[in-house]
Each structure stands twice: as C-alpha cells, then as structure tokens.
Structure 1
Amino acid sequence: MRIDYHTHHVRCGHASGELEEYVLKGIEIGLTQLGLSDHMPLLHVDPAAYLPGMAMPMEELPRYAEEAFRLQAKYKDQIDIRVGLEGDYIEGYESEIRRIIEEYSWDYVIGSVHFLGEWDITDYRQTDGWKERDAYEVYVQYYDAVRKAAQTGLYDYIGHIDVIKRFGFKPEQSVEHLEREALEAVKAAGLAMELNASGLRMPVNEMFPSRRMLEYAYELGIPLTIGSDAHQPERLAQYLDQAVDLLKSVGFNELATFKERKRVMVPIGFE
C-alpha cells in the first residue's frame, strides 16, 4: 500500500494545481490510494476582511466535492481516490462544522487546529502573534483545542497534532504533559491520527508529530495514517518514505485508511 491522505489544491487559495493534476501525479508515482482533503471554508472570520488565501470560499465547497467524486469514478481503475475534508476545528462553531461535514458523503474528515480565535498559528504572515503572547500559554490553549476537537465526534483522525511547533516557537518549560493529554484524548475518542511529513520543509524541520509523541501514541495503541500535506502536485508523497521508516522504527506495522467514514487498517509499506 502506498498512500497519501493529506493534499490541497488551488481552491484553498494558498496551494496550486487542479485536483486532476494531483490524481495524475498520484498515478504517475504509483500511489495505491490518494486522499483529497482540502480545507473547509472559513466560518468564524470574514474572508473579505481577513488575510487572502486562507481557505476555499463557501461557494466552492460543493464544486470541490462534485469534482472530487467525479474524479474518483473517472480514475477508479487506475487509482483508489478517497474524498475527504480537512475540517478545521473552531471552538464555538461545532454546529456549523457538523452541518458542512454531514452535507457530503466524505470518505474521511481530518480534525486539525489552525486557529486560536482569529489567530492562525500556522500562517507565516501571522508569526508576530508570538511576540504578544506567552509561548507556554499558547501551547496550553492549542492543546486544549486539540482535546476539544477529539471530543466532538466530528472527525476520523487528528491532523498534524503538534503543528504548533511549525515555526520553531517553543516555551522554555516542558510541554510533554500537554502532548500526552492530547494523545490520551485522541485515544479516548477512538480516533486515529496522522504522521504529517510536511514539517520537514518547515522551519521546525521535524515531522508532525515528534518521535516522542509517536512513541506515546504507539504505547496507547492509536492508529496512524500518513500524509504529505502537499500544496503543489509535485510535492505529492514528499518525505513519506521517511515517514514510513520512522513509523516502522517506532513499532507500527499498519496504516489507517478510510472509506465512507470507516477505518480500515492495512499493512504498512511504501516500497
């Protein structure tokens, strides 16, 4: 099995490439399964008044779903396409998120935390936000949001669970207890999580999550899937061979896949 469950395309505003380009690239590099998983539209901020290119406009969501399912059928004999959504968790907007999720027949929904209030902690244009805040308190708020996302029942797996470290901002004191509490919430909710390889091209230069978190996830028995978080077709499956090697070294021997919101475990491999 060669899989990549985390991808973005031009509709989200900060990626390039049409959906079909990702499909053709997946066929070219020999993926068994390709997950299409673009960002949910913004719910809690006015897109017109916010920074450009944060997520797909709401009117594009049905077009995204329609095109993704059409490509799933068109290429079914060449590649197994799974149609998903990265359903950004926004505290206080759970009902709105649920309506979007339940409106379409997704194969899977990723639960990711990008926003703390109106601050997107994953946006390189907003790193000045760290100057105004205590780093430890940011980590406390972030992992509290991850726990709440896991408890909603909205998601199939948690995405890039420690993406808070993306730009290298870290408090002086240990946050291991916060990481463990988040992982325990994932386990208690019966969710999977991903090893997101894109951290290797970020300032932190480490996958999401760290080996330390992976080892605790393995101890807890949390299922893992993998994703490149590609925002360009040429980055599809980038670093996933290294991700699989890391998972194997920790002890994982299966990967989580998803179809019609049901998890199916498959033997690990990226040969």
Structure 2
Amino acid sequence: MLIDYHTHHVRCGHASGELEDYVKRGIEIGLTQLGLSDHMPLLHVDPQTYYPEMAMPMEELPRYVEECLYLKEKYKDHIDIRVGLEGDYIEGYEKEIAAIINAYPWDYVIGSVHFLGEWDISDFRQTGNWEGKDIFAVYTQYYEAVKKAARSGMYDYLGHLDMIKRFGYVPEQDTWELEKAALDAVKESGMAIELNASGLRHPCKEMFPSERMLRYCQEVGIPVTLGSDAHQPERLGQYLDEARALLKSLGFNEIATFAGRKRLLVTF
C-alpha cells in the first residue's frame, strides 16, 4: 500500500505542474492511492495586497474540484485518486471555512495551521517576523491554534503538526507539554495526523511531526497517514520510504486512508 495524500499544483501559485502531471507521476512511481490536496483560497487577507502566489483564487476552486473528479474517473483503472483540500485553520473564520468544506464532495480535508494572524509561518519570505519575538510564546500561540483546529470538527486529519519548527527557530525551553496538549486534542477529537516527509528538505531537517510526537501517537492510538507535500511532480513520494520505515520502527502497522470523509486503516 503506497499512498501520498499531500500534494499541490500550479493553481496555488507557488507550485508547478498540472494535476494530470501528478497523476501520471503517481502511476510511474507505483502509488496505490494519490491524494490531490491543494490549498484552500485565502479568506482572511486580501489576495491582491498580501504576499503573491499563496493559494488558488476563489474562482478556481470549483474548476480544481471538477478537474480532480475528471482525473479520478479517467485514471480509475491505473491509480486510485482521492480528492482533497488543505484547509487552513483561521481563528474567527470557521463559518467561511466550513462553507467551503461543505460545498464539495471531498474524500478528505487536511487541517493545517499556517497563519498566526496575518503571518504565514510557513513562508520563507516572512521569516523576518521572528525577529524580536519570544520564540516560546510564538510556539504557544501556534499550538493553541492547532488545538482549536482539532476541536473545530471541520477536518479529517491535521497536517504537518509541528510546522512551526520549519525554519529552525526553536525555543530554549522544552516544548513537549505544548506538543502533547495538541496531540491530546487530536485524540479527543477522534482525528488522525499526517507524517509529512517534506521537513527533511527544510532547514529543520526533520519530518513533521517529530519522532517523539509520533511515538506518543503510537502509544495513545492516534492514526497516521502519509504525505510528501510535493509542490513539483518530481517530488511526489519524496522521502516516503523513510517515513514508512520510521513508522514501522515505532510500531505502526497501519496507515489511515480516506474516502468520502470516512477513515479506513490499512496495513502497509
């Protein structure tokens, strides 16, 4: 069972490749299931005045879904395509996010925290916002948002749970209690998380989430799915061999898959 549930394409503005390029690449590398999961349009900032190329325009969303469904049918004899969305959690915009989620026939929706207010902590152009900040306070704010995302009931699993470490800004204080509280919220909400392998190519040089967070997931029974977070077709599946090996070494023998917003655990 080879899956990759986290992918982006040219519509989002900061990725390359058409959706069909990812499908063809998925077939080429032998994926069993391919999840198409581009970014939800921006809701809380003006796309015209904010940083460019952050997410697909709102008018592209129905075209994205239509193309995903078309490719799902076209390639059904070659690869199992799952239609997804990476839905940013933005505090105060829950109704607007839910309206997008409820409007389309998703197989799954990833809940991701990228934004702390108008600061996208995943954007390399905005790392200057760390200057002068209390790093532990930023981590605290971030994990509070993660807990709210988990408890919102809008998502099927949470993406790159400790994305806050991406650029290597790490507080001197241990952050385990923040991480554990976020994972406890995931568990209480009956959700899964993803092991996002893309961290290996970022300054943190570690997958999202960390091994200690994964170990806790295994202990308390939080299901895990897999994603490369590919932004180019050639990165599809990148580092997922290492991700599967890590999960197996920690005692996982099942991964979470999704169809029609239902979760199914399968051996891998």
Q: TM-score, normalised by structure 1?
A: 0.98
Report the Cα offset of residue 133 of structure 1.
1.4
Whichever residue aligns with residue 71 of structure 1, its letter is: L
Q: For 2:26 and 2:173, locate their aligned partners in 1 and report how far apart those are by CA, in whole Å.
A: 42
Aligned position for 2:228? 228
Aligned position for 2:119? 119
Give the alignment of 1:82-97 within 5 angstroms. 82-97=82-97
Q: Which deviations, in whole Å up to 9, do the C-alpha atoms of 1:217-265 show, x marking residues without a partner?
A: 1111000000000000000000000000000001100000000000011
Correspondence 1:17 to 2:17: yes
Q: For 1:265 and 1:32, locate their aligned partners in 2 and report how far apart those are by CA, in whole Å.
A: 14
Report the Cα offset of residue 201 of structure 1.
0.3
Whichever residue aligns with residue 25 of structure 1, its letter is: R
Give the alignment of 1:20-169 within 5 angstroms. 20-169=20-169
Whichever residue aligns with residue 102 of structure 1, its letter is: N
Q: Which deviations, in whole Å up to 9, do the C-alpha atoms of 1:113-172 show, x marking residues without a partner?
A: 000000000000000000031100000000000000000000000000000000000111
Correspondence 1:189 to 2:189: yes
SS of 2:26's equivalent? helix
What root-mean-square deviation, in Å, do the aligned CA atoms of Structure 1 and Structure 2 show?
Answer: 0.4
Whichever residue aligns with residue 84 of structure 1, its letter is: G
Q: For 2:167 and 2:213, locate their aligned partners in 1 and report how far apart those are by CA, in whole Å.
A: 18
Correspondence 1:265 to 2:252: no
| Identity rate, percent | 72
Q: For 1:87 and 1:153, locate their aligned partners in 2 and report how far apart those are by CA, in whole Å.
A: 12
Q: For 1:263 and 1:28, locate their aligned partners in 2 and report how far apart those are by CA, in whole Å.
A: 26
Give aligned pairs, total.
268
Q: For 1:20 and 1:130, locate their aligned partners in 2 and report how far apart those are by CA, in whole Å.
A: 38
Aligned position for 1:175? 175
Q: TM-score, normalised by structure 2?
A: 1.00
SS of 1:205's equivalent? coil
SS of 2:53's equivalent? coil
Q: For 1:133 and 1:57, locate their aligned partners in 2 and report how far apart those are by CA, in whole Å.
A: 32
Aligned position for 2:218? 218
Q: For 1:80 and 1:202, locate their aligned partners in 2 and report how far apart those are by CA, in whole Å.
A: 29
Whichever residue aligns with residue 113 of structure 1, its letter is: V
Q: For 1:186 and 1:163, locate their aligned partners in 2 and report how far apart those are by CA, in whole Å.
A: 16
Whichever residue aligns with residue 175 of structure 2, its letter is: V
Q: For 1:92 and 1:51, locate their aligned partners in 2 and report how far apart those are by CA, in whole Å.
A: 21
Whichever residue aligns with residue 246 of structure 1, its letter is: L
Q: For 2:121 and 2:134, locate their aligned partners in 1 and report how far apart those are by CA, in whole Å.
A: 14
Q: For 1:220 and 1:19, locate their aligned partners in 2 and report how far apart those are by CA, in whole Å.
A: 36
Q: For 2:5 and 2:243, locate their aligned partners in 1 and report how far apart those are by CA, in whole Å.
A: 13
